[in-house]
A and B are shown apart, each in its own frame.
Chain A
């Protein structure tokens, strides 16, 4: 026996124990990796937020700069908008206008054998037409003819009729489609 050979006083490590410790180490690494992933994911999820915030701040800065530029020349800005508002009012008024002549044309060209003697039109499209003829049959023919103008008249009802000195005056009341007698692009040059 050599004097260099020592005596092993430590207990012999079993394979089972080695496996156990290696498994603990693996688990520790796994936990650390898990934690690292949580941190990385959180950091990554915050990157777009911070980028968007920077972009928003830059845009807000730009907006304030433009407003400051506009305020610098406020007199011009106010004058410009006074023109804009006036033009807008004119535009709104133009949209609500209608031509009585267009309605009169439609009625006069349709009501034969009756004759129209009164036209009343309201800007909400309510219309009243006073007509006269010599027989009830002719009156009903005229009413029927007007009803065939479906693109102009939405509704048209017989409001009243009478028999006066061999004349039959009658009034038709209803609703018309205002768009058909409103200003279009070609009429403004009229």
Chain B
């Protein structure tokens, strides 16, 4: 009797239990599926993306640190006295300021050295601002306070002398530039028309610490030193020639 009733009961409840199990199974499967999908979209994929982005940042930062380290080593390799000497040398090519009078005298000297005669020389005393923007990859830009004075002039002389004078100007590392050059034959002479622009820049007091700022161009620096030596030798020769001439005239 008891067994019969129990059998009846179990038979009675089995379909309901099965249904409940099925529902629970579906819920569990659905939950786990959703959890899997959600973890892929909200966790795994963002993590992979973040890893790639972090890798990029690391590469960039590694480059920056390497460059900064190199710069630190390079700056440390110079003493303050060495840097002062180098700066003095660069000043011979780009001065901090230009004295218009001395510039006129220098052009006149150059012309005399090349057997040329200055017909007209105008010096515009008003300096032009030619701020030079240095852009670097760290989105900082540095404006160099570059200024210029223009000196249009006309020279007369022989063709070869004028061309030699122009070549000297082009070879010189001094901060000069010219836009238009005109060489005209007039009777037995040649005339050179040139608008020479002299650049100068004051001392920069603030420089952002950034690895992407350019490094010191050593090959150019050695060319600069070479040219400065030649200029000094020429000056010494000129002075000694002048002194010899002076002594000779005194003796006379």
Check B75 against A80 for contact (C-beta < 8 Å): yes
A99: chain B residues at CB < 8 Å are 166-167, 170
Docked complex Cα distance between A24 and B20 (Å): 12
B134: chain A residues at CB < 8 Å are 85, 88
Q: Enumerate the 3 nearest inter-chain pairs by beta-carbon distance, A residue then B residue, closest first.
A: A52-B54, A117-B185, A86-B90
Docked complex Cα distance between A38 and B206 (Å): 55
Docked complex Cα distance between A123 and B196 (Å): 12
Q: 1/0 per residue B10-21: CB within 8 Å of A?
A: 100000000001
Tell yes or no: B177 within 8 A of A by CB: yes
B221: chain A residues at CB < 8 Å are 83, 87
Residue in B3, B7, B21, B171 whose CB lies within 8 Å of A9: B3
A11: chain B residues at CB < 8 Å are 3, 6-7, 10
B10: chain A residues at CB < 8 Å are 11
List 5 other contacts, CB 8 Å, given A9-B2, A85-B201, A87-B90. Answer: A45-B47, A52-B54, A59-B58, A83-B90, A84-B216
What is the total of A-B residue contacts with beta carbons within 8 Å? Answer: 200
Selected interface stretch from B61-69, B104-112, B119-127, B239-247: B61-69
Residue in B44, B61, B185, B224 whose CB lies within 8 Å of A118: B185
Tell yes or no: A121 within 8 A of B by CB: yes
Could you list which residues of chain A lie within 8 angstroms of chain B, going by C-beta atoms?
9, 11, 24, 27, 31, 34-35, 38, 41-42, 45-46, 48-49, 52-53, 55-56, 59-60, 62-63, 66-67, 69-71, 73, 75-91, 93-94, 96-101, 104, 117-123, 130, 183, 187-188, 190
Docked complex Cα distance between A52 and B56 (Å): 10
A55: chain B residues at CB < 8 Å are 54, 58
Check B50 against A56 for contact (C-beta < 8 Å): no
Asked, given contacts A88-B214, A96-B177, whether A52 binds B58 with beta carbons under 8 Å apart, the answer is yes
Check A48 against B64 for contact (C-beta < 8 Å): no
> What are 16 A-B residue pairs whose CB atoms fall within 8 Å in the complex?
A27-B25, A45-B43, A46-B47, A49-B51, A55-B54, A76-B75, A80-B216, A81-B207, A85-B134, A93-B177, A100-B163, A117-B184, A120-B180, A120-B181, A123-B179, A183-B170
